[in-house]
């Protein structure tokens, strides 16, 4: 099992030692390289969604909840996401593909297939909740596909535009 | 039967229908019940198990899809009032609250409208007529051009010449607008046309009226607004200011009272201007007059919001006046019972709007299920919210999940209290702006009270980032939770939550709100 956090392509692997109602982790690799870490002991608190976390002599409470492949973790006043991946699976995400960041309606398409665009160029406008959101080119390149036209409804995560080099 | 306190009221009522949803519906329904009134909620199919429905004595389903069929469906709402026997309607904010025709139709149906007259809504709702009335009444306005520009008509010539007259940078604003919708800034002439078209489109989509006008964009100005309260006996007072300068794309994020930039002299002058503005339209009820406050202390009328505001709680906390209760009293024809001298200012209050949005993805709306929802509680902490644990957040409605309001003796302690409350606000399953709010509060410019309305939009994202997460520890926690089998289905034993609000330690009960 591999783990990652959003906006970071690194994959973590942890070795777990199981005790009574607790798990201890003292080593971990990131993309195959050992990372420096303090030993973490996590104990189930027998309450819904709460664990006791012991790191380097300090004890804290964390809230955890899982949805799909994502574990949500709230600790030290901030919420985080940690995603797990089955062994060896590699993200199929294509860097040049632009995914819909939210469900909505395509209001305007400013680019054409075959057109060369620069980084940050306004390619499409989506509308959701009556607010307009600009879809900008993440990199310079040639537009290879535009999957939607004006008036189309798009689901979150749908590929909108593909950009080649 | 109307409640005892309405015995001598000229226009008593007994049952209030709240024509809204979400936190404001919950707030008003709660106030109605506290006031001894029966309450009716309306709801769309997808809201059938929402908190506001649970809060009401009874509720009426508005059938059909989309806002036009439901929360914007004036005739269905009036019919719901008839069928449920409601003799008053409170519109909340947004939706139909500033539609003069709806107010007129409600009164026409013999139902009490808890808000200002249709005429006042109409005059103030049209930014162009409001501007001219303010100029007439001697309230200062921003230099601008009032040529109405209908969408679809040949407007580009008029637009360009008006823009040249007003000067750049300028602001294109929907005449019917509000909440940042249909509002665009234009820094250089070449963007005029595209931004105008976007503003007109947003305005027609959001308000059914694509008319826009332009005015000078004042840089380094603060957004300061005055709460007014007027009765039908010629009583009109103001309840001091709220500072809403922390905005993102003209959408308020954090509001506070008092404003760190307002001196007693400015407060008096602005308050007087606000009362003049309200009187000029014969205003009755609770309303807000918004001003831009320039760094030299001069202020200009922006607009008047003829309804209860999202940020009304900070005024309630610092003045001890329950604004929704006052709306009910005034609608019943009772006098305010408070004079300007009675209005005090106690301590400092700050509100932070918790949105379901993702600051790391350009603040796009986020959706999902609120797997864990634990609002903070404690002395001086109030949470106004329309959701509870297990509810789904969709893109169908406004992404605001809750308002977290704190009250403390002074600004420094209020900021600390807010930050601490935000840090114990646990929301899992839906990305929120909680971290972003904490980072913004921690910024030197906010701490020193020296921000203007452009602060959030002009500050580098990196300056608003918190400390980096300790990734190995997070991975360790997640991996352990998975190994321990803490996936939510396997865990029974819910914690005790309040039946009405879904909050643990309902802040409404612990705070001891004060009543006049």
- Domains of chain A, residue spans: 2-85, 97-164
Comparing B503 with B340, the larger pLDDT belongs to: B340
Confidence of residue B514 (pLDDT cuts 50, 70, 90): very low
Inter-residue contact A23 to A42 (CB < 8 Å)? yes
Q: How far apart, in whole angstroms, are the C-alpha atoms of residue A9 and residue A30? A: 10
Inter-residue contact B313 to B402 (CB < 8 Å)? no
| Residue B493 confidence (pLDDT) | 40
Superfamily of domain B222-464 in the CATH hierarchy: ATP-grasp fold, B domain (3.30.470.20)
Which of chain B's residues have a Cβ under 8 Å away from the Cβ of A5?
469, 471, 474-475
Residue B131 annotated as catalytic: no
| Residue B360 confidence (pLDDT) | 87
| Residue B159 confidence (pLDDT) | 84
Comparing B485 with B309, the larger pLDDT belongs to: B309
Are B479 and A25 within 8 A, CB to CB?
A: yes
Which of chain A's residues have a Cβ under 8 Å away from the Cβ of B368?
67
Q: What is the mean pLDDT of residues A53-61?
A: 93
% of chain A beyond a pLDDT of 70: 92
pLDDT digits (tens, 9 = 90+) for B334-355: 999 999 999 999 999 999 999 9
| Residue B152 confidence (pLDDT) | 59
pLDDT digits (tens, 9 = 90+) for B47-98: 999 999 999 999 999 999 899 999 999 999 999 999 999 999 999 999 999 9
- Residue tagged 């709801």 (tokens): B43
Our CA-based measurement puts residue A13 at a distance from the nearest CA of chain B, in whole angstroms, of: 9
Are B476 and A66 within 8 A, CB to CB?
A: no
Quote the mean pLDDT of chain A. Answer: 86
On whether any CB of chain A is under 8 Å from the CB of B8, the answer is: no
Look at chain A and count its residues. Answer: 165
Of A14, A23, A128, the CB nearest to B365: A128
On whether any CB of chain A is under 8 Å from the CB of B294, the answer is: no
Our CA-based measurement puts residue A17 at a distance from the nearest CA of chain B, in whole angstroms, of: 9
Return the closest-CA partner of residue B210 out of B162, B159, B148: B148
Tell whether domain A97-164 is in CATH 2.40.50.100: yes
Residue A61 pairs in a beta bridge with: A52
Inter-residue contact B436 to B359 (CB < 8 Å)? yes
Hey, of B476, B482, B494, which one would you mutate to test binding to chain A, going by the most A CBs within 10 A of its CB? B476
Q: What is the mean pLDDT of residues B375-395?
A: 96
Are A35 and B472 within 8 A, CB to CB?
A: yes
Q: How far apart, in whole angstroms, are the C-alpha atoms of residue B477 and residue A74? A: 10
SS3 track for B228-253? EEECCCCCEEEEEEEEEEEEECCEEE
Inter-residue contact B173 to B215 (CB < 8 Å)? yes
Confidence of residue A97 (pLDDT cuts 50, 70, 90): low
% of chain B beyond a pLDDT of 70: 92
On whether any CB of chain B is under 8 Å from the CB of A140, the answer is: no
Q: Least CA distance to B365: which residue of chain A?
A: A102
Whether residue A69 is preceded by a cis peptide bond, meaning omega within 30 degrees of 0, is no
Are B427 and A84 within 8 A, CB to CB?
A: no
The CA angle A155-A159-A161, to the nearest 5 degrees, is 130
Comparing B365 with B40, the larger pLDDT belongs to: B40
Are A48 and B360 within 8 A, CB to CB?
A: no
pLDDT digits (tens, 9 = 90+) for A113-156: 999 988 878 898 888 766 677 788 888 889 998 999 998 888 87
Confidence of residue B154 (pLDDT cuts 50, 70, 90): low
| Residue B332 confidence (pLDDT) | 98
Return the closest-CA partner of residue B38 out of B373, B352, B328, B234: B328
On whether any CB of chain A is under 8 Å from the CB of B427, the answer is: yes
Q: Least CA distance to A77: which residue of chain B?
A: B423
Instruction: Count chain A–chain B contacts defined by CB atoms under 8 A.
Output: 183
pLDDT digits (tens, 9 = 90+) for B202-245: 888 877 777 788 888 887 899 999 999 999 999 999 999 999 99
On whether any CB of chain B is under 8 Å from the CB of A98, the answer is: no
Of A161-165, B294-298, B324-328, the least confident: A161-165
Of A51, A75, A77, the CB nearest to B486: A51
Are B202 and A7 within 8 A, CB to CB?
A: no
Q: Least CA distance to B180: which residue of chain A?
A: A131
| Residue B216 confidence (pLDDT) | 86
Whether residue B364 is preceded by a cis peptide bond, meaning omega within 30 degrees of 0, is no
Of A7-16, B63-72, B194-203, the least confident: B194-203
The pLDDT of residue A47 is above 50: yes
Return phi, psi of residue B379, to 5°. Answer: -60, 135
Our CA-based measurement puts residue A143 at a distance from the nearest CA of chain B, in whole angstroms, of: 22
Q: How far apart, in whole angstroms, are the C-alpha atoms of residue B437 and residue B454? A: 16
Are B364 and A1 within 8 A, CB to CB?
A: no
What is the topology classification, in CATH, of domain B4-114?
Rossmann fold (3.40.50)
On whether any CB of chain B is under 8 Å from the CB of A78, the answer is: yes
List all residues 6 or more positions away from A101 whose beta carbon is below 8 Å from its beta carbon. Answer: A126, A133, A135, A156, B358, B361, B362, B364
Confidence of residue B512 (pLDDT cuts 50, 70, 90): very low
Please give the distance of CA A98 from its chain centroid, rounded to a whole number. Answer: 14
List all residues 6 or more positions away from A36 whose beta carbon is below 8 Å from its beta carbon. Answer: none
Inter-residue contact B305 to B281 (CB < 8 Å)? no
Of B90-99, B193-202, B361-370, the least confident: B193-202
| Residue A78 confidence (pLDDT) | 95
ipTM for this prediction: 0.83
Window 179-198 of B, Cβ < 8 Å to A: 181, 198
Which of chain B's residues have a Cβ under 8 Å away from the Cβ of A76?
423
Window 430-489 of B, Cβ < 8 Å to A: 431-432, 434-435, 438, 466, 469, 471-484, 486-488
| Residue B504 confidence (pLDDT) | 47
Which of chain B's residues have a Cβ under 8 Å away from the Cβ of A14?
475-476, 479
The CATH class for the domain spanning B143-216 reads alpha beta
Tell me the domain boundaries of chain B. Answer: 4-114, 143-216, 222-464
Are A132 and B495 within 8 A, CB to CB?
A: no
Window 147-186 of B, Cβ < 8 Å to A: 181
| Residue B153 confidence (pLDDT) | 62
Inter-residue contact A148 to A106 (CB < 8 Å)? yes
Our CA-based measurement puts residue B507 at a distance from the nearest CA of chain A, in whole angstroms, of: 19
Of A9-23, B14-28, B158-172, B379-393, the least confident: B158-172
Are A37 and B472 within 8 A, CB to CB?
A: yes
Return the closest-CA partner of residue B427 out of B389, B467, B469: B389
Our CA-based measurement puts residue B30 at a distance from the nearest CA of chain A, in whole angstroms, of: 27
Confidence of residue A95 (pLDDT cuts 50, 70, 90): very low
Confidence of residue A104 (pLDDT cuts 50, 70, 90): confident
On whether any CB of chain B is under 8 Å from the CB of A7, the answer is: yes
| Residue B296 confidence (pLDDT) | 87
Quote the mean pLDDT of chain B. Answer: 90
Among candidate residues B99, B248, B307, B382, the one labeled active-site is B307
pLDDT digits (tens, 9 = 90+) for B233-283: 999 999 999 999 999 988 999 999 999 999 999 999 999 999 999 999 999
Hey, of B368, B478, B494, which one would you mutate to test binding to chain A, going by the most A CBs within 10 A of its CB? B478
Residue A112 DSSP SS3: coil
Q: What is the mean pLDDT of residues B453-468?
A: 86
């Amino acid at each position: 099992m591999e783990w990652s956090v959003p906006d970071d392509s690194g994959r973590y692997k942890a070795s777990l030692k199981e005790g009574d109602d607790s798990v201890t982790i003292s080593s971990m690799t990131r993309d195959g390289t050992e990372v420096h870490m303090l030993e973490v002991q996590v104990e189930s608190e027998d309450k819904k969604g709460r664990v006791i976390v012991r790191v380097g002599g300090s004890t804290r409470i964390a809230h955890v909840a899982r949805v799909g492949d994502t574990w949500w973790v709230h600790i030290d006043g901030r919420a985080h996401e940690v995603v797990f991946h089955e062994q060896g699976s590699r993200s199929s995400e294509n860097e040049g593909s632009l995914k819909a960041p939210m469900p909505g309606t395509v209001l305007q398409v400013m680019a054409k297939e075959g057109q060369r665009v620069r980084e940050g160029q306004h390619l499409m406008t989506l509308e959701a909740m009556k607010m307009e959101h600009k879809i900008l080119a993440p990199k310079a390149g040639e537009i290879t596909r535009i999957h939607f036209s004006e008036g189309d409804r798009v689901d979150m995560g749908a590929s909108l535009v593909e950009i080649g080099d | 039967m109307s409640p005892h306190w309405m015995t001598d009221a000229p226009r008593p009522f007994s049952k209030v229908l709240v024509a809204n949803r979400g936190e404001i519906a919950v707030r008003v329904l709660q106030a109605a019940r506290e006031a001894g009134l029966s309450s009716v909620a309306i709801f769309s199919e997808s809201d059938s198990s929402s908190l506001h429905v649970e809060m009401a004595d009874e509720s009426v389903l508005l059938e059909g899809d989309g806002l036009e069929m439901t929360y914007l469906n004036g005739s269905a709402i009036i019919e719901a009032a008839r069928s449920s026997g409601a003799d008053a309607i409170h519109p909340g904010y947004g939706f139909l609250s500033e539609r003069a025709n709806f107010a007129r139709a409600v009164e026409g149906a013999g139902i009490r409208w808890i808000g200002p007259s249709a005429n006042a809504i109409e005059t103030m709702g049209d930014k162009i007529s409001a501007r001219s009335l303010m100029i007439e009444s001697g309230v200062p306005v921003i230099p601008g051009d009032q040529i109405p520009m209908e969408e679809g008509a040949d407007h580009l010539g008029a637009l360009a010449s008006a823009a040249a007259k007003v000067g750049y940078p300028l602001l294109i604003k929907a005449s019917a607008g509000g909440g940042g919708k249909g509002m665009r800034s234009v820094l250089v002439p070449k963007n005029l046309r595209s931004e105008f078209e976007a503003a007109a489109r947003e305005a027609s989509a959001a308000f059914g009226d694509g008319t826009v006008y332009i005015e000078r964009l004042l840089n380094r100005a603060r957004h300061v607004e005055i709460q007014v309260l007027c009765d039908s006996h010629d009583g009109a007072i103001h309840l001091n200011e709220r500072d809403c300068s922390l905005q993102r794309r003209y959408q308020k994020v954090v509001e506070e009272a008092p404003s760190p930039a307002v001196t007693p002299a400015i407060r008096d002058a602005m308050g007087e201007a606000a009362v003049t503005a309200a009187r000029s339209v014969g205003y009755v009820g609770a309303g807000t007059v918004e001003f831009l406050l320039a760094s030299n202390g001069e202020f200009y009328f922006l607009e008047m919001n003829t309804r209860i505001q999202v940020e009304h709680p900070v005024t309630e906390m610092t003045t001890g006046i329950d604004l929704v209760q006052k709306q009910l009293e005034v609608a019943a024809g009772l006098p305010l019972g408070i004079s300007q001298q009675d209005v005090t200012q106690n301590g400092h209050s700050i509100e932070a709007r918790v949105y379901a949005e993702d600051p790391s993805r350009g603040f796009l709306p986020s959706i999902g299920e609120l797997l864990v929802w634990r609002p903070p509680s404690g002395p001086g902490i109030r949470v106004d919210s329309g959701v509870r644990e297990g509810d789904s957040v969709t893109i169908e409605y406004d992404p605001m999940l809750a308002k977290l309001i704190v009250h403390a003796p002074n600004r420094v302690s209020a900021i600390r209290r807010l930050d601490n409350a935000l840090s114990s606000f646990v929301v899992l399953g839906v990305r929120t702006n909680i971290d972003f709010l904490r980072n913004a509060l921690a910024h030197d410019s906010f701490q020193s009270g020296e921000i203007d309305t452009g602060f959030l939009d002009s500050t580098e994202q990196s300056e608003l980032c918190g400390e980096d997460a300790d990734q190995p520890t997070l991975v360790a926690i997640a991996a352990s939770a998975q190994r321990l089998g803490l996936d939510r289905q396997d865990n029974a034993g819910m914690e005790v939550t309040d039946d009405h609000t879904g909050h643990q330690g309902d802040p409404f009960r612990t705070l001891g709100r004060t009543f006049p």
